[in-house]
Structure 1
Amino acid sequence: MKHTALFLSLAVIASLSACSSPPVRYHTLLAPASPAATTAHSVPFFIDVLPVGVPAQLDTSQLVIRQGDSGAVVLDNERWLSPLGEEIRTALFANLVQRLHTQDVSGLIRPTDIPVVRIHLQVRRFDSWPGQSVAFDADWSLSAVGKGDERERLLCRSQFTERAVGDDSAMLHAQQQSITRLAEHIATTAARWMPDRQGTCLTPPPQP
């Protein structure tokens, strides 16, 4: 009887704890597809988006937000659907595929008759201040993959800040917009660089 009573007591405590704990919410950087972002014609190359590097302090499934100049808070109940690096990669290649009207051949056998541009992204900063802004800073490179193309590379950098005035949804939208702007920058550059490998890093028009 004592063991039964103890078990029932523990079950009640666990049940009460579960009821009092806030639910875990999951988020993604993959924004809804925008028809306006699609190019009118397919580009004559495929893309290969490599795994994305992110700062160690952000390499977690929980959302990390900034407080003031030096504070940071890990939100245990606000989580990404996948690790942050994979979230960024998924959102980036989906956006690029739509903008360039091409195919991501990551993990597939590389075609021999169609050029491939390999995209390597290293995020240096992805800081979010709720109710204020989201700051994004990343280095990235384009590499033409194919016979005789091994040394043809272009190294670029993207830096921008998105306003995040409002509630938590405004911050998440600003984070998605950061990846959207990055994809616009990469797509614009790749479309002009790939034909003759003579272009330079190009920045899209400023956001209004």
Structure 2
Amino acid sequence: MNPALRKLCPTVFFFLSALLLGGCLMLGEGQSEATRYYTLSPIQADPLAQFSEKRPSFLPGIGPVRIAAYLDRPQLMKRRSAHEFEVIDAALWAEPLQENLARALAANLAGHTGNPQVLLFPWRAMQRPSHQITIEVRRFDVGPDARAYLQADWAIQTQNGGPSEMSRQSEFSAQLRETDAAGSVAALSETLGALSREIALALADLAAQDPD
């Protein structure tokens, strides 16, 4: 082989390798997962039998709703173990989770109580609820067992002379039907639906004791 050509071969090989590597990197970047946005869905809730009798003074209000600090982020969270979480960067909440939780809870309660109007905190000074529901969400994520989990402390404060307060701790879980982000949000919505039903039943008990 010509000596000059022999010297040129390593240079050409290095140049071609660099081009090939750059092309692979560009191809990898082009195949990055597209960002998707998600919201919690209200459940299909029929009015509970306890609310068959209309009560003009009954006006529930949701809020404040507080969430654990680890949930206060735009990305969905997946629990890998008891001490480790995975942040799903390509799966984002379409609105702040606190607001989404309150809105979905209000829609669920409207269905369970047959009352189309459920106030959201903060409400106007002239529009006070008869029953104020405060909620603190301690856990709201998907575990390594492909189940969605909700843990929450909540209380109902009456504003119209009835029993002063009821407070409880609730835990719910739901199996994921699909293991992607959409399946996770659907299962989380199920757990929120279960919490809504429990709150609606408690509201029915308190409303039955209220002076009308």
Fold conserved (TM > 0.5)?
yes
**TM tier, smaller:** 0.7 to 0.9
Question: Which residue is equivalent to 1:22?
Answer: 33
> What TM-score do the two structures reach when normalised by structure 1?
0.75
Q: Which structure has the larger Rg over C-alpha atoms? A: 2
Question: Which residue is equivalent to 2:178?
Answer: 166
Give me the CA root mean square deviation.
2.6
Alignment check: 8 A CA contact 1:120 1:141 kept: yes
Alignment check: 8 A CA contact 2:78 2:143 kept: yes
Alignment check: 8 A CA contact 1:53 1:123 kept: yes
1:183-207: CA deviation from partner (whole Å, max 9, x where unpaired): 000001101112316xxxxxxxxxx
Corresponding residue to 2:118 among 72, 82, 104: 104
Q: How much does 1:118 deviate? A: 0.4
Q: How many residues align?
A: 177
Query: For residues 182 and 108 of structure 1, what CA distance do their matches in structure 2 show?
Result: 26
Cα 1:153–1:110 shift into 2, 3 Å: farther
Question: Which residue is equivalent to 1:120?
Answer: 134
Cα 1:43–1:134 shift into 2, 3 Å: farther
One-letter amino acid matched to 2:176: A
Cα 1:154–1:94 shift into 2, 3 Å: same
> What TM-score do the two structures reach when normalised by structure 2?
0.73
Using the aligned pairs only, state the percent identity.
Answer: 28
- Structure 1 runs not aligned, ≥5 long: 1-14, 198-208
- Structure 2 runs not aligned, ≥5 long: 1-25
1:50-78: CA deviation from partner (whole Å, max 9, x where unpaired): 13111001111110111123221111110
Q: 1 or 2, which has the higher helix percentage?
A: 2
Question: Which residue is equivalent to 1:153?
Answer: 165
Question: Which residue is equivalent to 1:67?
Answer: 80
One-letter amino acid matched to 2:40: L
Q: How much does 1:141 deviate? A: 0.4
Cα 1:26–1:131 shift into 2, 3 Å: farther
Query: For residues 189 and 116 of structure 1, what CA distance do their matches in structure 2 show?
Result: 14
Corresponding residue to 1:94 among 88, 91, 107: 107
Q: How much does 1:37 deviate? A: 2.3
